[in-house]
Structure 1
Amino acid sequence: MGSQAHNSDLTSPYGYTPTRSVAFVFLALFGISTAIHIGQAIKYRMWFLFLTVILCGAIELLGWSGRLWSTYNVLSQPAFSIEITGTIIAPTPLLAANFVILGRIIRRLGPEYSRLRPRLYTIIFTSSDVISLVVQALGGGVASGANSDSVATTGANIILAGIIIQLVIIVIYGILATEFYVRYTSAESRLTKESIDGAQSTPRAPLTRDIVIMCLALALSTSLLLIRAIYRVAELADGWLGPVMTNQVAFIVLDGVMVVIAMYTINLAHPGRLLKPEPADSDVRENTS
């Protein structure tokens, strides 16, 4: 999937001419997923999705629109600025949705198995995510308005700092989520043994099939965003016209495809369907959150 050769490739801010058909495909994919997410958010009355997953889709559409514009005028600085800023910051709100969803899973299964209280996942990680977003947006603004290579490099370094913050957030989030799952399953094994031995055990929320599917979806989505963040760190650390930045296939696969799959994963394994309120234990869980 290479780009067509043009005389302007050497002066293109991408280092190549973006492929037009690919831009159309990703605009369609992000448009469909975002539209479905809007419908699902309204159906299940999950309004936080508008500021997370749906916002991600909207920004991706903006970024890929800039990329499509570049296929018609590859030397357009506004088109490149829209593309680079949009595609860099777009996944940040999507990651915030994962934080909120994990908090709801922990509230359902048992906050006593988590190192953090459920609401703290939303407060701490989402706040850190917002800081990452602001830093990336600031860097994008500096880079897009650069009138010299030194200023452009400064912008890239600011963006890189924001991406590194995001990468650290994802890793810590993954560690805490894994620890919660291990502690929960270890307790489950202990309680099962106590029950078999005739000892009295405390009833607790079951790990239902729907919750398992939601956990697997979160793990997949987070892993995809981790891969994408690692790619972006390598890309920006390599420089604006380095071999990573100027590799169109790498961008398509390690950025575009990763975010598309992450968005459709939440479409298919939607928290509104898989984490329906359970009146029997909702009051107890809510009091511990």
Structure 2
Amino acid sequence: MDKILSYTEHIPAGYVTRARHLTETLQLSVAVPTTITEPYASITSVISSAAAYQSSVYNALSAASNLASSTSLFNEVVAAQATINYYEILREAVTETNAASRASLMTRAAEASEVMFKVVNEYPFYGGNFPSLGGNIALLVVFAVFLSMQVFSGIFFHQYWFLVCWTAGLILEVIGYAGRIWSSQNITNLSAYIMQSVCITVAPCFLMAGIYYIIAQITLIYGEEYSLMKPMRYSQIFIVCDIISIFTQGAGGGMASVQSLQDTGRYIMIGGLAFQVLTMLIFQFLWYHLLFNIYKAYKESGENVFNPEFDFVRRRKLHIPFIIGVSFVVLLIFIRSVYRLAEISEGWSSKATTDEIYFMILEGLMVSLASCVISVLSPGLAYGRGAHLQMTRRKKNEEEFDMDDSFRKRDEL
């Protein structure tokens, strides 16, 4: 055991904990057997093979030059030692003639078998690194605060589609970080890992679903002639793409949590994230094309060229800051999505995956900043409480928003 622990200097804590299981006595899950069915020759053969294999792995471990290789080899050494421990006790029990001593050895063998099963089959997630308890608690609190702000804002300003999308997304963020807090106590907990993996992965898809609706609203507020598509088309196309991303990433995240399906799950997640990134690129092109046309028309002809029906919305002080804020939110979530795509593409043992600082900055910080911006500059503050901008279909090829007539000429909350 001392030799194994001498190699733990740069090994992730989760794998070191796994090695320490070799010295533990675990509660038996089955009754202690009274007979040994395996021949003595087979037992000694297993010990010899495991010892020889462990010796070769030790040599490779001594020469390993990177963390991924060292961790993998260290893991093999621990598994070999667990096997040796079990079979050595079993060999001793086979040759023991004293009934009491034999019974004691059989109990020890059963305990060693439990340890061997735990070491060989129990998989530490997060590359063996425990998630930060304090950091994940902080992010959970932050998202909970923004969630309460979105609920209040959505109900007060009657922005129900945005309310549903961002409430769903932020609830998933809260659940996801609760899963990481749970994992910080036990990184082999499969339920906690699936909980954080699926929820944090798909949450931004819901957030973007709310953003996709905004481009349709801005198109109507200024005029369809500045857009490449009719307002309802934006919602139909991008929300369908979002649903595809949600299901693909969720399914991939769940499969990737099962060790035997990790590679398959990873490829599915890569596909879902790549599709999301492509969707966001197309959205940003359409968004900035719309804003450029609006700006160009304003510079050439002034405010009077825009849809007069929504003049009261455009005159609100927070309307332009809101448009800038939405652009910033999309950029932040796009950066986060590119990071997750790169992270998962590099594999589960890459530095981007196992070093939590990357996750905290490029996932947690990006999404929390986006949530902060859209909570402070919400659609309700930009449009006003009376502007019930709900998409309706009047007749073929014509879409518009319903608006409360009593607020057409008022510029108040």
TM-score normalised by length of structure 2: 0.62
Contact 1:66/1:83 (CA < 8 Å) preserved in 2?
A: yes
After superposition, the C-alpha distances for 1:101-153 in whole angstroms (9 at most, x for unaligned) are: 12111110111100011111111111111111111111122222x242xx211
After superposition, the C-alpha distances for 1:30-51 in whole angstroms (9 at most, x for unaligned) are: 1111011111111112221343
Closer/same/farther in 2, CA of residues 106 and 20 from structure 1, 3 Å limit: same
Query: Where in structure 1 are there 5+ consecutive unaligned residues?
Result: 196-200
Query: Where in structure 2 are there 5+ consecutive unaligned residues?
Result: 1-11, 19-70, 72-122, 401-413
After superposition, the C-alpha distances for 1:6-25 in whole angstroms (9 at most, x for unaligned) are: 52385631021111001110
**Alignment map for 1:119-138 (pairs within 5 Å):** 119-138=232-251
User: 1:69 and 2:182 equivalent?
Assistant: yes
Aligned partners of 2:140 and 2:239: how far apart in 1?
27
1:262 to 356, 359, 370: 370
Q: Which position in structure 1 is the counterpart of 2:164? A: 51
Aligned partners of 1:155 and 1:174: how far apart in 2?
28
Contact 1:103/1:118 (CA < 8 Å) preserved in 2?
A: yes
Q: Which position in structure 2 is the counterpart of 1:166? A: 276
Aligned partners of 1:203 and 1:147: how far apart in 2?
57
Aligned partners of 2:185 and 2:230: how far apart in 1?
50
2:126 to 5, 9, 14: 14
Aligned partners of 2:251 and 2:359: how far apart in 1?
22
User: 1:78 and 2:186 equivalent?
Assistant: no
After superposition, the C-alpha distances for 1:91-110 in whole angstroms (9 at most, x for unaligned) are: 11001111111211111011
After superposition, the C-alpha distances for 1:29-86 in whole angstroms (9 at most, x for unaligned) are: 0111101111111111222134311101100111111100011111111111111111
2:373 partner SS: helix
- State the shift of 1:278 in Å: 7.7
User: 1:29 and 2:142 equivalent?
Assistant: yes
Aligned partners of 1:204 and 1:123: how far apart in 2?
23
- State the shift of 1:222 in Å: 0.1
2:125 partner SS: coil
Aligned partners of 1:26 and 1:36: how far apart in 2?
15
Aligned partners of 1:36 and 1:190: how far apart in 2?
39
Aligned partners of 2:153 and 2:204: how far apart in 1?
19
Aligned partners of 1:94 and 1:170: how far apart in 2?
12
Task: Give the percent of matched residue pairs that are identical in Structure 1 and Structure 2.
Answer: 24
1:72 partner SS: coil
Contact 1:23/1:64 (CA < 8 Å) preserved in 2?
A: yes
Contact 2:173/2:203 (CA < 8 Å) preserved in 1?
A: yes
2:131 partner SS: coil
Aligned partners of 2:246 and 2:306: how far apart in 1?
42
Aligned partners of 2:296 and 2:155: how far apart in 1?
37
User: 1:176 and 2:286 equivalent?
Assistant: yes
After superposition, the C-alpha distances for 1:166-208 in whole angstroms (9 at most, x for unaligned) are: 101111100001111111122222225xx9xxxxx85645654
Tell me the C-alpha RMSD between the 2 structures.
2.3
Q: Greater RCO between the two (CA within 8 Å, min separation 6)?
A: 1
Q: Which position in structure 2 is the counterpart of 1:105? A: 218
Aligned partners of 2:285 and 2:198: how far apart in 1?
29
The structure with more radius of gyration: 2
